[in-house]
A and B are shown apart, each in its own frame.
Chain A
Amino acid sequence: MKVNLKIWRQKNAKTEGKMVDYTVDGVNPDMSFLEMIDVLNEQLVNKNEEPVAFDHDCREGICGMCSMYINGRAHGPLHGTTTCQLYMRHFKDGETIYVEPWRAKAFPVIKDLVVDRSGFDRIIAAGGFVSVNTGQAQDANAIPVEKADAEKAMDAAACIGCGACVAACPNSAAMLFVSAKISHLALFPQGQPERDLRALNMVNQMDAEGFGNCTNIGACEAECPKEIKLTNIARLNRDFLVASLISE
């Protein structure tokens, strides 16, 4: 099959970018979207043109590095899928495909489709952990956890930190990302001692990074490749409220 691409090209953070047209022929429907971009880049190099820069690593949908905004949707048209796990069989022959980077104030473009998501790391550094130094742990089975809670915690912990939630949100809010970590740890006994402080610190850091506010639109849940639920945001709001009241 053949596809027409309109891809965002931007030399660096300081210059302006624009959409550039490309055509890729001989696309195999079993190719992943990124493999199709590989083919394009190979063509560009052969023509002495600079290849398109994009983030990618594991290509198994788990590292969270790939991040393309395809036809107006984070990670493209398929629900519950990362860009690297999107296959060309989901596009039509001759289709025109728009490819852009994540767009959010807190995710500045570095080059082409590559953005800076280090704000997520700083949010985790502000409180997304259990403070336990190596060597202090008791026997693992000394802390029983109800199976249902463990399953819910695992659902939240499945977040890959890709930032699709931010890219999809009209407010560029990071609430789904933050709430996934809050929920994961709040559902475990191990997470209780720091529960209030964690909610306060992570939310404060989120605001400091310039992420927007949540207005319950739900685009984050709809586009999340790991199908993280909005109920996590409810839990975050509750924890944050409780923590704010206690801290006053």
Chain B
Amino acid sequence: MAELNSKIPSGPLADKWSNYKEHSKLVNPANKRKLEIIVVGTGLAGASAAATLAELGYQVKAFCFQDSPRRAHSIAAQGGINAAKNYKNDGDSVYRLFYDTIKGGDFRAREANVYRLADVSRNIIDQCVAQGVPFAREYGGLLDNRSFGGAQVSRTFYARGQTGQQLLLGAYQALERQVGLGNVKMYSRHEMVELVTIEGKARGIIARNLVTGQLERYFGHAVLLCTGGYGNVFYLSTNAMGSNVTAAWKAHKKGAYFANPCYTQIHPTCIPVTGDYQSKLTLMSESLRNDGRVWVPKSKEDAKAIREGKKKPEDIKEEDRDYYLERKYPSFGNLCPRDIASRAAKEACDDGRGIVPSGLGVFLDFSDAIKRLGVDVVKARYGELFPMYQNITNEDPLKTPMKIYPAVHYTMGGIWVDYELMTTVPGLYALGEANFSDHGANRLGASALMQGLADGYFVIPYTIANYLSSEIFVKPIPTNHPAFNEAEKEARERMTQFLNAKGKTSVEEFHKRLGKIMWEYCGMARNAEGLTKARKLIQELREEFYKDVRVLGSIDELNPDLDKAGRVADFIELGELMVIDALNRNESCGGHFREEYQLEGEAKRDDANYAYVAAWEYKGVGADPVLHKEELKYENIELQVRSYK
């Protein structure tokens, strides 16, 4: 197998993207009209890509499984979007955003991609404001910013606690405008269930119409996967219930390498788990760490008393509280990156100082901020977040500290892509959270929105032309081509298999069991023994699933359980790959913490042996995948031990 070619342009870091744009191939307007592009997923990456490509003149088909493209899970992002505007005059720059992102990612991301991201971040804000996105403003009428984890400047733009919603609605409106103009054909309630490749190139998809159950065939000169992350492999996560890996996994099985699957982000500020019935976990925005102080009691006795309801948080005197983030990381304090804050919470709870009945929870306290700023300012700053917390937990965070605990939130790993966002299958692209490219081993807060929109608005419109310019002579391939027949047959057989298993165990139950394995052995802390065991457990679960799953109803109707069976089957296979990847990476970095590799409780990287992207090639169900390494070359920054102390 040939070495991975990341196609990073030559030249100085700051000039790579402009050099690329100046020399990449173009498609003339008359030819654009003849080219069809499939966009799967309509979150920030998908909606912005579909809208922009349609504006350029391509014929776009966009797909989402929700009933409307406006509901993609980007909508739930709360805190904000980073951009190197330096409106605050506090020393920000493209280079600094680039550096913070590389460092936040624990030096496991590709320099050239991250620099480009930081560079176009400024255009994103301009574009969104022009669309009418209602960002927070100051009294002078100009845009406001706030600070976020992993940075010492204020570069985060926000719209109350609903930044993702407002950015997505901006992209959605741009998309609907193109639907109205006839440039995009929108397919809601459609789920991609198979990728179609012809002579090695991506040429279409099979999608299940979720209302009629029909398997439908769609041709495209290129296919864009904007399908988000795979956090739901853990069952409990902050992802939406429908978020899944199926489209990405089908692409992986058809030749797209999957990169760094073990890099998962556990977000430090989520509402703790309370019961077995729980279907998802709710995130409380990281922006709360601007004003909230994280603490547990210094003594185990006090923590126990709180757990048992014998003491209240107010009863613990100031000197008996351990503001552990401020203590351990004085220069970043409560604003240290997510992976570090999460592990510190786990450490405090493992030490017996957790403050909820399960023992897995810490306080996030706003009393100092309320004293300093007043209740009204704090309330205004966090908009919907406080009522949301109160509604879920029946406790008022203005009166008593929030209780929080880390939960699975984002996946840095994903489909391997080159500088052009193309996967190892020609004509197949991956954008946004679905790809692996920009966040290394840990993503900084307010950077997911930035990356999704950067990929969709400002990267893919240039890079896709470089490929499509050589496709202008390819006539649309009729969907009765044998490759479409074959792909549809595969999809139908798989669904029939689920329905015919007629077992005793629900899909939901299998999903829960997978989640427990993943959280226990491949969660916040991992070790070789546990991972080895997990692989075996997952393999057993997979066999049991196909024998014993119970899916009712039929294939020819709206059948959410059948859809979910397909998603869980893919999660099980992905889970095994995650464990293999975690076992292979004998170091700790960012969200991947191997207990064997630590130095005084901090992650210990091994740059000599693991400064590479692990891109896995699929070799069949249960077979060992083949590892391809993309060496990470740092030409502009020096690899350092990441310190927020």
Contacts and interface: CB of A to CB of B under 8 A. Distances in A.
Contacts of B136: 150
Given A51-B560, A87-B392, A134-B458, A141 B280 contact: no
Contacts, number: 210
A136 interface: yes
Interface string A126-156: 1111111111111111011111001001100
Interface in A151-186: 153-154, 157-158, 160-161, 184-185
Contacts of A132: 127, 130-131, 174
A56 B173 contact: no
Category for how many chain B residues contact A: 35 or more
Contacts of A143: 129-130
B485 to A, nearest CB: 28
A43 to B, nearest CB: 10
B279 A121 contact: no
A209 B277 CA distance: 39
Nearest to B49: A134
B11 interface: no
Contact of B162 (A62, A124, A133, A147): A62
B76 A130 contact: no
B52 A134 contact: yes
Interface residues of A, number: 77
Contacts of B508: 38, 41-42, 45
Contacts of B278: 35
B80 to A, nearest CB: 14
Interface stretch (B89-97, B164-172, B288-296, B444-452): B164-172
A60 B274 contact: no
B177 A129 contact: yes
Given A129-B173, A134-B457, A140-B126, A50 B552 contact: yes
A190 B129 contact: yes
Interface string B57-96: 0000000001111110101100000000101000000000
Given A50-B553, A58-B240, A125 B177 contact: yes
Contact of B126 (A45, A63, A126, A139): A139
Interface string A100-133: 0000000000110010111011001111111111
B341 interface: no
Contact of B131 (A45, A114, A125, A130): A130
Contact of B275 (A31, A64, A124, A146): A31
A144 B70 contact: no
A30 interface: yes
A12 interface: yes
Chain A binding surface SS class: loop
B388 A85 contact: yes
Contacts of B141: 144-147
B71 A65 contact: yes
Contacts of B279: 32, 34-35, 38, 59
Contacts of B492: none
Question: Which of A31, A34, A41, A121 is packed against the most chain B CB atoms within 10 Å?
Answer: A121
Interface string B235-270: 000001110000000000000000000000000000
B134 interface: yes
B557 interface: yes
A153 B134 contact: yes
B140 interface: yes
A55 interface: yes
Contacts of B176: 121, 124-125, 128-129
A137 B129 contact: yes
Contacts of B67: 55, 65, 116-118
B400 interface: no
B66 A191 contact: no
A137 B126 contact: yes
B473 interface: no
Given A45-B561, A58-B71, A132-B174, 9 more contacts: A12-B557, A42-B506, A51-B552, A56-B241, A60-B76, A62-B76, A129-B174, A137-B127, A157-B159
Interface of B: 48, 51-52, 55, 66-71, 73, 75-76, 85, 87, 123, 125-132, 134-143, 159-160, 162, 165-166, 169, 172-174, 176-177, 179-180, 186, 188, 211, 240-242, 274-275, 277-280, 282-283, 388, 391-392, 394, 457-458, 461, 506, 508-509, 550, 552-553, 557-558, 560-561
- The 3 lowest CB-CB distance pairs between A and B, nearest first, are A144-B141, A125-B180, A137-B130
6 contacts: A50-B552, A64-B71, A129-B131, A140-B130, A157-B159, A190-B129
Interface of A: 11-12, 28, 30-32, 34-35, 38-39, 41-42, 45-46, 48-51, 53, 55-65, 81, 85, 87, 89, 110-111, 114, 116-118, 120-121, 124-141, 143-147, 150, 153-154, 157-158, 160-161, 184-185, 188, 190-191
